[in-house]
Structure 1
Amino acid sequence: MLTKVAFGKVKQPQPVRSQSQVSQLTSSRDLSRSNTLTEVLQTTLDTHQLLSVYADFLKTRLDVEALQFVSDDQLFSLIGDFDQSQIQHAVMLYADQAYLGQLVYGLKRPLTVTQKLRLEQWHRELTFPLRNALKFSQLHRLAVRDHLTGLGNRALLEEVLEHLHIKQQRQKNGSHSVMLLDLDGFKDVNDEHGHQQGDDILRVFAELLRTTVRDSDQVFRFGGDEFVIVMEDTNLYQAQDVYNRIRTAVDSCDTLSRYGLSTSAGTAQLECFNTVEQSLDEADQRLYQAKHGGKNRHCGSVGCA
């Protein structure tokens, strides 16, 4: 059963295997700080890093076997694993009456009154830095999403490729590919039927790409009718297989077939000695080669098909 607990009031723990409470902060003015934790929490706006700092602080002060933070759209495992022998203690966090998420603790034994008071104080210190981090994360997600298709935009693409490039330089192995695609004949359809119909077609194509590629692949809208697929641990022959799946899906799509649309693509391998921009430029050159060699095909350094 979920009970509401006001800060500063103590309630004896019930002799059950599960404890729950609500940490309700009605105003940021209510925040009481202990410099040790609060100052450290204010050093980052990265949600996972902030929660990890909290977990590290907690581990030295409380016997916690497992800890998770669960929000409406995210889950962070911070300490250990849960099992049936543990007592679960769940705390719902609010900041200025806005629900942030829930901390779920896995404990060997019920919390004492003193431990619950300490935990409530730590929740006070965590809540508003956590709210700021979650807001920052939400704004970042909005900033890197294409508003038309919901896919990652060019800014997120460059971020992902830079991360992959650094990883490749460090590991000195792995074969990663980047594929640039567009819709053959899209400009004519857009000019003839209008931008609203063109937008609908782009949404259909974006969803087709998202559902056709492998689970490990990432799809981005590059601009206009151009899209990019980042494929980790994928050589050019495997990239051709991915393209074949996409081409088959396009041929089977009623909306795209109605307008006589097909897709061409060019793929480049990410190389540790090339920059991200150079890899994208090579993929663009391969796409140009595919379109000017007959369209509805894929080109890479090993040839076109």
Structure 2
Amino acid sequence: MESIPNKEYSYNGTKSPIFTVFSNEPLLSTKDKLFTLETLQKSLDLKEIMENFASLVASFIRPFNIRFQSAFGFFSLSKSLPSNFTRNFNLDSADHSPRLGTMTYQSETPITATEDKLLAELHQLLQPTLKHALRFSELSSMVYKDHLTNIGNRAYYEETIFHAIEQSNRTNLGLSLMVLDINKFKPINDTYGHTKGDQVLNAFAQVLTKSIRTSDFVFRLGGDEFVVILQPSAPCSVSKVQQRILQEIDKNSLLKELDFSASYGFSHWEIGTTASQLFDQADQHLYQNKALDRAQR
């Protein structure tokens, strides 16, 4: 049995603490725990798990603005509540491995002792699923990452373009695809060696990453071929990104030293266009631009 100071009352002009007495018995019933575990184990996707967890917190306690942060994932859910009070919980792994992350709750009023105890119980139920989800996220990032440039690879591109087309079907926000390759990349490898060629690929990946918005994606499909997904996209989006790419190339000392250039093609998604068709249109435009560039030299 434990006593936790909760609030004060006034008696004969003297303030004295009222103690709320809690049993060491859990506040969640066995039925509540089973329901919580079933809800949390529906998915290994971090976002879905945290959305489900936020719903459980709102059901058992009350709604909060919730944020979770770790080395392998981030989640934020705002209920547009006043954030007068903040409470942080460090979520530790049961097997003493590195900390899973930090959960932050924001609310208009302070978290009471009862709510604090309920959150602790919910965290205990969350931790096993969360640990697996974070590990899955870590492994997924390895599967979807180009290990030379640390940007997305072909597998990640294929999954992302599929979801981007689905989203455009629902929202009609616009979607554009850019396909790029490096001009005269083989002579760079032949003249300076493959180590220099790898440095060029890395530098160009950084250029592309710096040239896009946070809502956009950049990928290396293989060799010197890169792809950029722009979403949302307007008719002027591609030209804006192209200008930023040229500016970033000019700022890069390695690329400037090699008189680096790249060609690009683009396509704009329309209703009924498949991912394969969208890529083919951009790829065809790329080779038209390369042919035009050769003819002008």
Same fold (TM over 0.5): yes
Aligned position for 2:13: none
Which structure 2 residues correspond to residues 144-155 of structure 1 after superposition, within 5 A? 144-155=144-155
Contact persistence 1:165–1:272 (CA under 8 A): no
Could you say what secondary structure the match of 1:293 adopts? helix
Looking at structure 2, the residues matched to 157 and 74 of structure 1 have their Cα atoms a distance apart, in angstroms, of: 20
Cα root mean square deviation, aligned: 2.8
CA–CA separation in structure 1 for the residues paired with 2:106 and 2:235: 47
Could you tell me which residue of structure 1 aligns to residue 163 of structure 2? Answer: 163
Residue 231 of structure 2 aligns with which residue?
Answer: 232
Partner of 2:270: 271
Q: CA deviation at 1:37?
A: 1.0
1:93 to 91, 96, 99: 91
Measured after TM superposition, the shift of residue 210 of structure 1 is 1.4
- What SS does the aligned partner of 2:150 have? coil
Q: Deviations over 1:141-180 (max 9, x none)?
A: 2211111111111112122211121122234x34321111
Q: 1:63–1:216: structure 2 CA closer, same or farther, 3 Å change rule?
A: closer
CA distance in 2, matches of 1:261, 1:157: 25
2:23 counterpart residue number: none
Report if aligned partners of 1:186, 1:261 keep a CA contact under 8 Å in 2: no
Q: What residue is the counterpart of 2:141 in the other structure?
A: 141
Q: In structure 2, the residue corresponding to 1:166 is in which secondary structure?
A: helix
1:40-88 per-position Cα deviation (integer Å, ceiling 9, x unaligned): 21111011211221221221221344332232464423352464543x3
- 1:212-231 pair list within 5 angstroms: 212-231=211-230
Q: State the Cα distance separating 1:237 from its structure 2 match.
A: 4.5
Amino acid at match of 1:244: Q
**Is 1:111 aligned to residue 102 of structure 2?**
no
One-letter amino acid of the counterpart of residue 61, structure 1: F
Whole-angstrom CA distance in 1 between matches of 2:106 and 2:157: 38
**1:12 equivalent in structure 2:** 4
Q: What is the distance in 2 between the residues matched to 1:11 and 1:119?
A: 18
Shift of 1:125: 0.9
Percentage identity across paired residues of the two chains: 32
Q: Which amino acid aligns with 2:122?
A: W
Partner of 1:27: none
Q: TM-score, normalised by structure 1?
A: 0.78
In the alignment, is the contact (CA less than 8 A) between 2:72 and 2:138 conserved in 1? Answer: no
Cα offset for 1:34?
2.7
Residues 52 and 175 of structure 1, relative CA distance in 2, 3 Å threshold? closer
Distance in 1 between the 2:141 and 2:208 partners?
Answer: 20
TM-aligned CA deviation for residue 120 of structure 1: 2.6
Give the Å deviation of 1:196.
Answer: 0.9
CA distance in 2, matches of 1:193, 1:142: 30
**Deviates most, 64-73 or 225-234:** 64-73
TM-score (norm 2): 0.80
Deviation at 1:185, TM superposition (A): 0.8
